[in-house]
Amino acid sequence: MVIESLFYFSLAVLQALEDGLKKADADPSVKAVMICGENGKFSAGADIRGFSAPQSHPGIGLAPIVSLIESSEKPVVAAIEGVALGGGLEVALGCHYRVAHVKARMGLPEVTIGLLPGAEGTQRLPRLIGVPAALDMITTGKHIPATEALKLGLVDEIAEENTIEAAIRLANKVIGQPLAPRRLSLKPVPTLPNMEAFLREALVKVKKQARGCLAPELCVQAVRAASERPFAEGLRRERELFRLLLSSGQARALQYAFFAERAVRRWATPAGASWSSANAQPVRSAAVIGLGTMGRGIVTSLVKANIPVVALEQDLENLKKGRKAVMLLLEREAMKMEGGAQRLDFHNPARLQFTVDFDLLRDVDLVIEAVFENMALKKEIFHKLSKICKPGALLCTNTSALNINEIASATSRPQQVIGTHFFSPAHVMRLLEIIYGSHTSPSAIATAMQLAKALNKIGVVVGNCFGFVGNRMMFPYVQQAVFLLEEGSRPEAVDEVLEDFGFKIGPFRMSDLAGLDVGWRSRQGQGLTGPSLPAGTPARQRHGQRYSPLPDLLCEHGRFGQKTGHGWYLYEKAGGRTATPDPWLHNFLARYRDTHGIKARAIDQEEILERCLFALINEGFAILAEGIASGPEHLDVIYINGYGWPRHRGGPMFYASTVGLPRVLAKLEQYSEVHPDVPGLRPNAFLRKLVAVGSPPLQEWMSYVSWQSPKL
């Protein structure tokens, strides 16, 4: 008998499974059962959308079905094609045998949505493949290919071609064989000589990796229960831990992040262009200009995506340096992949070519300029490109803040110019901010989004303004951090609060890592510091607003961060990575306060957190109101994937919605009253409006934006 299921579990699917199994058990003519999916896909598990209403969720009813499958008196074989994920794999674990197609993938990704495998998966998987392998799958949520599943013993057979036929063959073969040895609930968990130490270390590891995130920790506890308790007791523990996670708030945030990352694919601009009508151009070849840190990563990313690349530098010396660095990155990437060097084929000049000759860019479909942030230089390059490149080529600029319209003005084809803001290291970081200018065509946006997908990145389309979305929101956050130092705090205190909140790295460690000179050069360019600053400008004021010269002063002392061995922290050597609090800096801060007549005060953790985060969020509301991004999900995806925002807090705008908009507003009002010369703390009008209309749910915010005059 064959029971077909659907891709996501619904109550109807569960009912069909239950009915089918009962019918098969009762029918003496049925000798074996095979469960498969429809259209070549086994199952992606429960419909995640339903987890916010647990009472009606089909996932809750899944565990009894898995038990029912296992207790069947007739052999049940799972035929796994496509994916078997979450509850889908748990169903397969209830079966007595598993056959997988060679291209199938399996996994228990519940941890990534803030849960644990709650349909008995934490108890059955360790019994089948042992604690170490089960823990790895359950705490990371990774998908494993069929070949690996076979090695682990997760599946019994691999089918090269027809999985259903292979499963039916196996089912026929095992008719009449005893089923007890195939029932995982009856098997003991394989022991380890050092189980206790192993589980303890696993807990330490997951706590370190996902600071403050509950799910990985509770996954370890559930697997511990499997190793220490009888099956039925282990199940009770699994259910208890599952319910804890379901009500923790983190699951909601992580599920929001899952859907937000998919929602940003449906981009739109205030002018009416959108994903639904724009057509992407094919990208069969690309060029990268500039082989500095960013250019190297971008070339590596393109090669990994199997796109032939021409890598261009301004002279032979820089070309040699760049080539060496790119090759090193590619060798490392190849080592991580099966058949890597061969698959990437980067020694083949038809796939990767290094040159100083602009003429070789004539035929490429896309160019990514990645020279340093200098408007004059970028314009010179774009002028050249518009003369050399073929008519349809997409011209991208990798910039973190510069005006796309101004760069496009240097070309005769501004409709094909677009910003692609990669994050460092560009071959690792998943975010790609895609910035359209006033003339960028919908097709250019669609092509850049298509490129993001090809590079396995998350593209987020945003409008053109200084710093775009990510850096624009970052400015007020970092500004507050520095003001807090002026007022009496220390870098390590501020970093600790934000790292405890869940950021991978606090603002001062981040600044030391990126290099303080980067911002210094930018401020010099803006005339905020340096020789172009008019004589008589007050030290702590610019354009009538509060300004802190602290970062500039550190640069004047040669303190650029890790690269010079000191910045906001002290490092063991230039290029060192171990930050220690620096007594020199503490004295420097004390002298600075004396010079400016600032009385240091004790600043508590709440103030540090609120001033930094609420200033960032406040800027987010301004961005939404101006139409720079088409929804709060866009801002959240940018922050989670580009700025180390803790995923289990769902992104800054989601976080604001959980704190409550009235509270965010009240706090900003309170801080703004104390610091009237800091515009970043003045509550944005859009935030006020949302509070005035009763703080609607985040999904409804954009319906309160008036689009009459988007600043684009």
Ligand X SMILES: CCCCCCC/C=C/C(=O)SCCNC(=O)CCNC(=O)[C@H](O)C(C)(C)COP(=O)(O)OP(=O)(O)OC[C@H]1O[C@@H](n2cnc3c(N)ncnc32)[C@H](O)[C@@H]1OP(=O)(O)O
Q: Which residues bind ligand X (CB under 6 A)?
A: 8, 44-49, 59-60, 62-63, 83, 85-87, 109-110, 113, 118-119, 239, 242, 259, 262
* Cα–Cα dist 485/140, whole Å: 38
CB 686 within 8 A of CB 705: yes
Cα angle for residues 234, 236, 241 (degrees, 5° grid): 95
Q: Please, which residue, 13 or 395, has the CB nearer to ligand X? A: 13
What one-letter code names the amino acid at 138? I
User: Least distance (Å) from ligand X to the CB of residue 10?
Assistant: 10
* Cα–Cα dist 276/274, whole Å: 5
The total of other beta-carbon atoms located within 10 Å of residue 393's CB is: 24
Q: Which tokens hold the place of 655?
A: 């976080």
Q: Please, which residue, 6 or 388, has the CB nearer to ligand X? A: 6
Q: Please, which residue, 45 or 551, has the CB nearer to ligand X? A: 45
What sign for the dihedral angle of Cα 565, 568, 570, 572? Answer: negative
* Beta strand 417-422 pairing with 431-436: antiparallel
Cα angle for residues 24, 28, 29 (degrees, 5° grid): 85
Catalytic annotation, residues: 90, 110
Report which DSSP code applies to 629. S
Q: Please, which residue, 104 or 334, has the CB nearer to ligand X? A: 104
Q: Please, which residue, 48 or 202, has the CB nearer to ligand X? A: 48
- Residue 483: name the closest of 401, 545, 538 by CA: 545
Kindly calculate the radius of gyration of the chain based on its CA atoms and give it in whole angstroms: 28
Q: Please, which residue, 1 or 83, has the CB nearer to ligand X? A: 83
CB 217 within 8 A of CB 202: no
* Cα–Cα dist 509/487, whole Å: 19
Instruction: Give strand ranges (E) for 132-174.
Output: 144-145, 157-159
Q: Please, which residue, 109 or 683, has the CB nearer to ligand X? A: 109
CB 690 within 8 A of CB 701: yes
User: Least distance (Å) from ligand X to the CB of residue 256?
Assistant: 12
Q: Please, which residue, 265 or 384, has the CB nearer to ligand X? A: 265
* Cα–Cα dist 454/623, whole Å: 28
CB 323 within 8 A of CB 292: no
User: Least distance (Å) from ligand X to the CB of residue 82?
Assistant: 8
Which DSSP helix (H) or strand (E) runs through 542? strand 541-542
User: Least distance (Å) from ligand X to the CB of residue 52?
Assistant: 12
Q: Please, which residue, 261 or 487, has the CB nearer to ligand X? A: 261
User: Least distance (Å) from ligand X to the CB of residue 214?
Assistant: 16
- Residue 98: name the closest of 63, 132, 125, 60 by CA: 125
Report which DSSP code applies to 683. P
Q: Is 369 helix (H, G, I), strand (E, B) or coil?
A: strand
User: Least distance (Å) from ligand X to the CB of residue 242?
Assistant: 5
User: Least distance (Å) from ligand X to the CB of residue 60?
Assistant: 5
Q: Which tokens hold the place of 432?
A: 């790609």
Question: What are the residues whose beta carbons fall under 8 Å from the beta carbon of 252, sequence distance 6 or more?
Answer: 52, 114, 650
User: Least distance (Å) from ligand X to the CB of residue 90?
Assistant: 6
Size (the chain), residues:
712
User: Least distance (Å) from ligand X to the CB of residue 86?
Assistant: 2
β-pair partners for 78: 35, 98
What one-letter code names the amino acid at 502? G
Q: Which tokens hold the place of 107?
A: 């996994």
Q: Which tokens hold the place of 598?
A: 């600032």
Q: Is 232 helix (H, G, I), strand (E, B) or coil?
A: helix
Q: Please, which residue, 23 or 262, has the CB nearer to ligand X? A: 262
Q: Is 402 helix (H, G, I), strand (E, B) or coil?
A: coil
